[in-house]
Structure formats: C-alpha cells, structure tokens
Structure 1
Amino acid sequence: MGLTTSVPGPERLDEFVMRNVDVVSAQEQSALRGGRLLVAGCGSVGASLAEPLVRMGIGSLVLADPESFDLHNINRQACVLADVGRSKARVLDERLHAINPYLDTTVYDEGLTEANLEASLTGVSVIFDAIDAASSPWVKYRVHQLAAERRIPVISGFDFGGKAVLYVFDYRRKKTRPFYGRASEEAHREGRLSECLTWLGYTHFPADFLPVISDRMVTKQPWPQVSYCVLAMGALGTRCVLELLMCRRVPHIVAFDTHMKMRGRFARIAQVAKVPLRLVDALVAAKKGPSATPAVAQVSPVDAVLAAHPVLRSVIEAMVLAPSPHNCQPWHFTVLNDREIQIGWDRSRALPAVDPEGFAIAYGLGCAIEAAASVADIGFRHSEQEDILAPDYVAGVLTVHGLKADGYVRARGLLESRTSNRHRFIDVPVADEVGRRCDRLVAPFRSRAVVMKQSNATLYRMGHRGALDLFRSRAYMDELFDFMRLSRKEVDADPTGFTPDGLGLGRAETFAMALLRRLAPLRRALSPLGLARAMAKNATATIRSPSSFALIATSDFTARGRIDVGRAIMRTWLELTAEHLVCQPIDFPISTPQGRDAVAAMFGLTSGERPVVLLRVGRAKVLNASRSPRRSIASFCAIAPDFHAVATQAHNVADEVLA
C-alpha cells in the first residue's frame, strides 16, 4: 500500500529553507528566490548544481539540453533506469518540481539554438555553461558572446577525473570579449577543439588526468566522469552562483581536487592541532549548563488569527515589503474575514513636511496592493473616498483568492530583493523591449512608464536645486532626522526609516548625522553656512554617475488614481528587478512644479500627464548589506470584531480536538 502525501502550499515557503538559516543570510535567501539561472547543458555538470540550488531556494531556472539519457549516464547523472531515452532537460525539470512544485522553469529540450538563444537569456542573472565544446562549439561561443554583451556572469564547469574546476567569467566587472579574449570566434565556427579550449590554461589540470586529456584530444572519445567529482562540482557551483547573485567578486578559477585532498598531510595536521582548544571550549560550554528556561511567549490575537490563516499572512508579509516614503510603513490592514483585507493607513505615520497632501502615502498603499498581486490572485475594490487625509479614509478592500502556484517562489524573492540602491551602478543599457513591457504593464492603471537614457548631468543639476530647497527647510530637515535610525539599537526600537546602509553612509558620516540630530540648534545654525548645500550634494551625487532612468507618470489625480499609480510604480520596479536591474528613487528633480514640467518634457509626456516617481536604473556594483527594516506583521494589523469571534471559537474547538 503506497503512502499519499499532500503538497504543502506556497505559504509554507519559508519552511522549505528554514534549515538554511544562520548559514545563508536573509538577504542571500532573497537573492536566491529572485534569481534566474540558465543551465546550458543538463547532464552531469549542469544538473550537479541545479538540484542543490533548488533545495537552497532558487526561484527560477532555464533548462536547455538537446540530448536524451543513455545507460552510461547512470553512474553520475540525476536519472534512473526508467529515464533512459527521455529528454535530459525534461527529466531534470520534473525532478526539480518534485522538490519544489512552485519553482519557475523554462525548458528548451531542443537545446540552445540561434532561434531561441535570445529568448533563453531573458531575465537571466547567471549562466552555468555546461555545453560540450566538442559537439556544440559555436553555441558555446554564442552564449559567452551574448553574455559579454549583456554583462551577465557565466560559470563554465569542467571535471578532470577527481578535480572539479569552475571558470568564472564575470562579464559584469569589465567589458571584454568572450572567454576574456582567450579563444577565437573563428576556432569555434570551424570546430577546432584544441583552440576552442585554450582558455582552460594549463595550471589546473591534475597530473593523474593529463594522459586522459592527451588521449581524448586525439580520439574524441567521451570524457571519463565520476559521481563524487560531480557532487564536488555541485557544491562549488551552488555557492558560486549565490556569490554572483550577491554581486560579490569571485575568483576566476574555483577548484576542488578530491584526489589531492585524500593525499594531503599538512592540512590534516593543522586541523588536528585545533582539536585541543576546541575541545576545551566545548567542555567549558557544557559545564555552564543549559540556560534558564525561557518564558513562554504570549501569542497576540492578531498572530493567532494569522497563524490559522497562513495564506492571508503570506499576503500581508508580501505587502509590507513594499516601498513607502521615508520607509515610514504607513499601512494598516484590517482582516475582515478569511479572504478579505481592508487597506488603510496609520495617521501616526504621516509626513506633514515631505508629504502634506498624503499623495506619497497613497502611492505607498498602491505599492502594497501590487505587492500582494505579485504573489497572489487578488481582487481589489476601491473605496469612494477622496480625502486621503480624512481620519476614516480607507483605500478599499483586497480579496484574496489564493497564492499563485506558478512562479510564487521567484515572485516572493523579487519582492525581498527589491530595494533602493544608492550606490553607483554598472551602466547597462535597458533593452527597448523591457521599457515597452513596463509601459504595457502599467497601462491598466492609466499610468505611463518611460524607461530611457537621459542626461545624468542635467538631471543632477535639477535634482541638486530641488534638494537644496528641501534641505533649507527646517520642517523637512527635522522630519528627515526623525526618521534616521543610525544604530542597531535604534532600528530594534523602531524598525522604520533610514539606516546608514540604506543611505550609503560610512562610519564618519553616520557619526556626523548622529551629532547633528542630537544638536538641533547647531544643525539649524549650520544650514545657511553650507550644511544644506553639502547634504544636497551628497544626496544627489549618484545621479551624476552613468545610468538609465524610469519615469512613472499618471493623468488621473483622484485618490483612486493615486492608489493605481502606486501599483504602477511597484509593477515597474518589480519588472526591472526581474531583469536583474536595481533602482534608486530620485524625487529631487521632480520636487518642484518647474522640475516636474522640465522632466515631463525630457521624457516626452503629454500635457495631461504628470511625473510621479523617477527611478535611477542600472546593474548593481554593490548590493546593500541588509534590507530596510520592517515592523512586525502584527503591528500593521487589526482583526474585525466579528471575524475575531469566529476565529477564536474555531481555534478553541481545534484545541479541544487536539486535547
């Protein structure tokens, strides 16, 4: 009799990877969920890292391989006897979906060809090149050629007997030719194998494998491969992909020789020498005994209801990942029943200096609604209220039909990865199709998204003037400093606002900001003496660095229109994030009527359209060290009295049944 198991819902996504915690950081986990890897070749080398990456939590894969499994693949590839004769790419896709049914995959069982190569690279953040240079040299070259043009990093894997070697071509770091110029286009066109592999070098071939290399270069027989080397390849490749997703530098060559590790002596001696000290540490820790029994945590009514309705909790968790002005996190959610959430805002989070009319608050509410739409099938019913600042204002009611099974993992990862990046970017042109797609995506919200290159110098001058006007305002400065969280203690006490990492501040600058915040009279005295000008220069400095821009505009200035343009902002930002681009909102150029008019003309808006948000767009050189802080889920929520009574009764009945 067989066992039947139910598939856990996507709301339990975090449980899939909970054992990664404290080895993989939250930011790394988000990068994995939002990442898209092209596995070019799904045999032993390519499949070696596909499965561990899925188990680690990657959100999206493109699988390409024209071959089918043969009996001789059993010794090291991810297949069983029943798979012989079946497509490698299709079998791998089924295996990966058996591990995570919410994985987003695209399969090319015809392999990579000139006809599908461009499409296969869409949205890809890293490429793993496991293409056989002997059978498909030109396709291999074209993958590197397009990756170099698009500044996408490529990892090429080789296993030499017992040694797994990764060659990392980080085309983001410098504009260069395929294979760093170490192999010619002509050699690949003509299939001259030895010349196609000159980029391998000579220093990383293990001595016991050199005779095999010499033989195979002549006979063209299949390369010998063993399972334990494939596993080593998967371990190295998995971590290497994660490092690249985090925009970290990776050595050009990463290798592990299983044979040599078995023969090594000095490394073993060094490890043995550490045993006494570590043993003492363990004995001391054991003598201290266990810590006092912690008090049982009290579960709030909100947490109890959300625990009983994990889909609603997942949607609310997605909504609070949305951006908001000054990271004030103004959202207030009232759970009406097991499917409906009323969307409002907390008046204590108002920004009277920077947002006196509440327009930016409305944009933040719209961003939260669209964040929910990215992970769930929802409906949204607007309210008829127009006064956003009214004490009883609510934006409307969100109806949750269920989480999206298809692509949920990546959608959640994109939400977690989306952030305001205030560092300098790698200037990568945004494809015209991406801009057109963004504009199409926001059209249902009566909005425009214009993505294009513009004069950085012109926008910098406009932004500097707008920033200078704001930094000369006492009310604006007081509000800005009120939202600065300049230490870990301050973030823990109130996880909103700006952190030094989010502002791109170094230690000296953080100390200076803390001093100016504490000594408000000094700050006000220094403002006309150059402080305002210095802060404006610092706040707008990155606008001068090369980048593209995305302008979101609307012609609907009703309360409903402002909610909808907030959804357009979020949809555009997530689409750009899916293309592995990072964004920085730079509202200073459009902070005055004159600036808005000038920017509207630069971006070709019609007379009835008004700029709402301007984003600086590019490829990340450096990622923020951490995500913007967020308050607890319960702090955003209230439970409607009727539903609270029903939920409490159901919870009590469940407790009695369990008892």
Structure 2
Amino acid sequence: MTDVRARDELRGRASGPVGHGLPEAVPGRVCRETEEDFYPEFTRRNRGLVTEAAQEALYGARVLVAGCGSTGGAAIEPLTRLGVRRFVLVEPGSYELNNLNRQDARYTDIGRNKAEVGAERVLAVNPYAEAEAVTQSVTSANAETLVAGCSLVVDGVDVTTPGGWEGKVALHRAAALARVPVVSGYDMSGTQHVRVYDYRSGGAPLGGAVTPADLAAGRTVWTLLHRVIPSRVIPPELVEDVMSGMTRPGYSVPQLVYTSTLFGALAACLAVHLLEGRSVRGSLTVDLHGVVRPAVRNWASLPRRIRGRRAWQRFVRGQTQGTAGVRRR
C-alpha cells in the first residue's frame, strides 16, 4: 500500500490531554476525555437498542470500506457513530464538483482524495479512532492484504468500468478466502439494492454470479450488473436514461443523495447484526420513490416497470462492446 495515513499522522495537528486531538477539520478543539472514558459516553445513547455484545463487537472490529464515493462513503460516518473505531478506507479518486450533489463532502474538498477526507471525518467524530487511507484501487495484487485482519467489508467499488469489476471480483475472492462478510450496495434512481455475501460459512465469490472467466471473456459491465442485480428492481426511469444516455459522449449515470445516504443507514444496521454474529437477509431492496408515492400511483406505474424490465433485458442482450464514456464516481 502506498500513501497510507495512520491515526497519529492525521490527528497530530492538534494536541490534547493525552497527546490526542482532533484534525484540522475541527480547529481549536481537543479531546478532554481519556480514551477509557471517551467510548462509554460516546456510545451511551446506543444502549438499550444495541446489545452489549454488539457494542463490544463494534469496538473491536476493523472495517474495510472499498470505494469511498457515493456508496461506500455513505457508510463511513454511520459506522463511526455506531462505535466502529478501526477503518481501512480505499479509494483512488478525488472529489469533483458533480460529486457534491450526493457525497458527504464540502466544496473545499474538491480535488482531495476521498479516502483521506473520509479518514478525517472518522477522527473528527472519534479522535481515538484509527483510519488508514489507501489511495489505490482494489486489485488482485492488493486485495488479500487489504482484507487481512478485517471483520467486515463494505463494497462500494465502482461497477461502471471493466477495471472496477476486476477490483470487485478480487475483493470478493479475498473476502471469501478470509471468511469475511461483505455488504455491497447499488443505488439506482430512488432504489437502493443491497447484497450481503456472508462468507463466514463459505461460498463462492459474488455467489458465483461473476467470475474471473467472465472478465477474461470481455463481458460488458451491463451484462455483469445484470447478473448481480435482479432486473425487477431496476427503476424504469433509470433504464430509460441509460439507454438514451449511452449515445451521448461523456454520459454519467445519474444518482441521488437520498438513495446514496440510505445505503449508509442500511450498511450500518447490517454491520451491527453481522459483527455480533447474527444472520441477515442475503438481499434487500428499498424503493424510496415507491414508499412515498400513493399506492394508486404505484399500481399505475406497474406497466411502465414491466416495459422497463423487458427493455433492460433486451439492452443487456444487445451489448457487445465495452463502456467507454460511462461515469459514476
């Protein structure tokens, strides 16, 4: 790993009672509590809702967040506030202006690496936390090293480029070998689709849906997505936008803040259960647009959803080339 920032480097800009302080993001503030006093009070309002065993598991966990953009980045702060203290944050990209519509960043963060900003956010909430920022992509060369020693993986790796899929497959292969559960998120218009791969009991990477052989065969990213996301949960408005947008140079898949933020909440809840050793659903889907629409409008939209599903299936079958020009960061 290169360009890794550890806890002391990030928070060494301010001093506190025991040599600990908050990073520059909160200038002039220091931690008045000792490390022993901080955590019980920090998590006091969790009590009664988070079991003692779960809180202890959160305290001792080491969580890898692979991809710190709109999906993985949304999970960092909720996990920190629940009580996770040790993170490995992996992201090669930097913030752009068009990220600010949904990602937890400020205008002053534009141009900064997302993993490094995420590490500062962790320490701004818990100055006794440990956050490593790795400014590389996940690859077959580093995936096992990144996963080693982790209790949980949050998979926010980009799925709109062939390179992203190579990283995702390598990440899941490493997690499966290490028997570490993975939570993956896919935000689509107002729909958040979450897959949980509980490798604690074994199982093929990505459930066998996507393999290195698929990558070697040059499958398009749309074909690979079709294998991990049921077509019935893909919103028709997104299908229509993708199909029309593919003809435009530099097309970016649209994303919304409330859908991205929802992944953070779902991933945090799943983390509590998984780290305590409990079983969870293998997949879940929340359609925010459907939740807030009157029931009669949901029924009225059914024909459009059916047409969208069929159009998506035809679109995927017709794909024979790569994904140049598609962006989702």
TM-score by length of 2: 0.75
Mapping of 1:114-129 within 5 angstroms?
114-129=140-155
Residue 181 of structure 1 is aligned with which of 203, 208, 212?
208
1:263 corresponds to which of 293, 309, 315: 293
The SS at the match of 1:31 is helix
Question: 1: CA distance between counterparts of 2:245 and 2:185?
Answer: 18
1:166 alignment partner, one of 194, 201, 215: 194
Match in the other structure for 1:230 = 260
Displacement of 1:205 after TM fit? 1.5
CA shift, 1:67, in A, is 0.4
> What is the CA-CA distance between 1:236 and the residue it aligns to?
0.8
For the pair 1:69 / 2:99, whether they are aligned, the reply is no
Taking the aligned partners of 2:104 and 2:237, their CA distance within structure 1 comes to 26
Identify unmatched segments of 5+ residues in structure 1: 267-659
How far did 1:73 drift? 0.7
Report the secondary structure of 2:200's partner residue. coil
Find the residue that maps to 1:224 and give its secondary structure: coil
Alpha-carbon spacing, 1:150–1:217, altered in 2? closer, same or farther (3 Å): farther
Other structure's SS at 2:132 match: strand
Q: CA 1:124–1:216 in 2, change beyond 3 Å: closer, same or farther?
A: farther
Structure 1 segment 49-60 matched on structure 2, within 5 A:
49-60=75-86
Residue 282 of structure 2 aligns with an amino acid whose one-letter code is H
Give distance in 1, aligned partners of 2:182 and 2:29: 39
- Name the amino acid aligned to 1:117: A
Q: How is 1:526-565 mapped onto 2 (pairs within 5 angstroms)? A: none
- Residue among 211, 226, 243 paired with 1:214: 243
Partner of 2:185 in structure 1? Answer: 157
Distance 1:115 1:263 in 2: 46
Point out the more displaced range, 104-113 or 29-38: 104-113
Pair 1:35-2:64 in alignment: no
Q: Please give the secondary structure, in 2, of the residue aligned with 1:180.
A: helix
Counterpart position of 2:39: 13
- In the TM superposition, residue 215 of structure 1 has moved relative to its aligned partner by 4.1
Higher radius of gyration, 1 or 2: 1
- The whole-number CA distance in structure 2 between the counterparts of 1:17 and 1:93 is 20
1:139-169 C-alpha deviation (Å, 9 max, x unpaired): 1111111212222111110111111111111
Shift of 1:128: 1.0
Query: Cα–Cα, structure 1 residues 191 and 214, in superposed 2: closer, same or farther, change >3 Å?
Result: same
CA distance in 2, matches of 1:218, 1:240: 38
Alignment partner of 2:233: what SS?
A: coil
The structure showing larger relative contact order (alpha-carbon pairs under 8 Å, at least 6 residues apart) is 2
Q: Is residue 187–residue 195 contact of structure 1 (8 Å, CA) maintained in 2?
A: no
Query: Given that residues 63 and 150 in structure 2 are in contact (C-alpha distance below 8 angstroms), is that contact kept between their aligned partners in structure 1?
Result: yes
Q: Would you say 1:245 and 2:275 are equivalent positions?
A: yes
Does 2:231 correspond to 1:202? Answer: yes
Which residue is equivalent to 1:192? 220
2:320 corresponds in structure 1 to none
Q: Report how far residue 206 of structure 1 moved.
A: 2.5
Matching residue of 2:116: 90
Residues 151, 160 of structure 1: alpha-carbon distance in 2 compared, 3 angstrom cutoff? same
Q: Is the 8 A contact 1:162 1:258 kept in 2?
A: yes
Tell me how far 1:69 sits from its aligned partner. Answer: 0.6
Q: Aligned pair in 2 of structure 1 residues 72, 115: CA closer, same or farther (>3 Å)?
A: same
Secondary structure of 2:239 counterpart: helix
State the identity as a percent.
Answer: 33
What SS class does the counterpart of residue 242 from structure 1 fall into? helix
CA contact (8 A) 1:87 1:109 kept: yes
Question: CA offsets, 1:466-489, max 9 Å, x none?
Answer: xxxxxxxxxxxxxxxxxxxxxxxx
Distance 2:153 2:170 in 1: 12
Question: Structure 1 length as normaliser, TM-score?
Answer: 0.38
* TM-superposed deviation, 1:191: 5.6
Q: Deviation of residue 255 (structure 1)?
A: 2.0
SS in 2 for 1:254: strand
Q: How far is the alpha carbon of 1:264 from its aligned partner?
A: 4.2
- The 5 Å alignment of 1:175-574 reads 175-189=202-216, 190=218, 192-197=220-225, 198-215=227-244, 221-265=251-295
Contact in 2 for aligned 1:62/1:120 (Cα 8 Å): yes
Q: Structure 2 unaligned runs (5+)?
A: 1-25, 297-329
Deviations 1:64-121 (A, max 9, x none): 0000110101111111111111111101111111111111222211232334222111
Query: Residue 172 of structure 1 aligns to a residue in which SS?
Result: helix
Query: What is the aligned-residue RMSD (CA, Å)?
Result: 2.1
